[in-house]
Amino acid sequence: MNRRFKVLIFLLLIIGQIILQRYVQQLKIHLDLLYLILVYISVMSGFYKTLLTASLIGLVTDYFCSANLMGVFGFSRVIAGFILNEVSHRIDLKNNIFVFLLIAVSLSFSNAIANLFLYFIQGFSFNLDMLLYQPVLTGLLGLIIVTSSKARMYLDVY
């Protein structure tokens, strides 16, 4: 049941990301739902699984969001995955504030690295949506998912 619920949540996140990428202009919501999958796997799984997931999610993000420059988000998501994997053992994730901060700060950091690459290579300016708005919204959504009682039970959190 837990496994089925996890797969369902992951599928919903992937479908949600597809919808967002199609309707981002109308919805004006900047979320990175794939990053929530990375956060969950980084926190709950081991080193190799984290690295593999981070690389895959990075490559997919690269394909859709890095102005034709493969490897930028691959690089930044691997760093984020590694940090999440290391840090999550050391902080109290029963505290909702820390869950939110973990998601928001790590996503902001990861996006900042990607943005830095895009700034120097493609001349893209620093994007406040990417550095602030998206991490905060994604962090809030992650917090809502994790703190809902069913998810808490089925996702093995707490």
Using CB under 8 A, list all residues that contact other proteins: 15, 18-22, 24-26, 30-32, 43-48, 51, 55, 58-60, 62-72, 74-75, 78-79, 82, 88-89, 93-94, 111, 114, 117, 121-125, 127, 129-130, 134, 156-158
Whether 85 and 38 have beta carbons less than 8 Å apart is answered as no
- Closer Cβ to other proteins, 10 or 75, answer by number: 75
- Closer Cβ to other proteins, 55 or 136, answer by number: 55
CA distances 157 to 2, 43, 77, 84, 141, Å, are 11, 10, 22, 15, 16
Q: How far is the CB of 40 from other proteins (least distance, A)?
A: 10
DSSP string, 11-53: HHHHHHHHHHHHHHHHH-----HHHHHHHHHHHHS-HHHHHHH
- Closer Cβ to other proteins, 4 or 94, answer by number: 94
- Closer Cβ to other proteins, 105 or 112, answer by number: 112
CA distances 12 to 18, 87, 125, Å, are 10, 27, 32
Q: How far is the CB of 77 from other proteins (least distance, A)?
A: 9
Neighbouring C-alpha atoms within 13 Å toward the C-beta of 79: 15
- Closer Cβ to other proteins, 22 or 144, answer by number: 22
Q: Which residues contact 41 (CB under 8 A, 6 or more apart)?
A: 49, 50, 53, 81
Q: How far is the CB of 106 from other proteins (least distance, A)?
A: 15
Q: How far is the CB of 4 from other proteins (least distance, A)?
A: 18
Number of C-beta neighbours around residue 7 at 10 A: 10
Q: How far is the CB of 7 from other proteins (least distance, A)?
A: 16
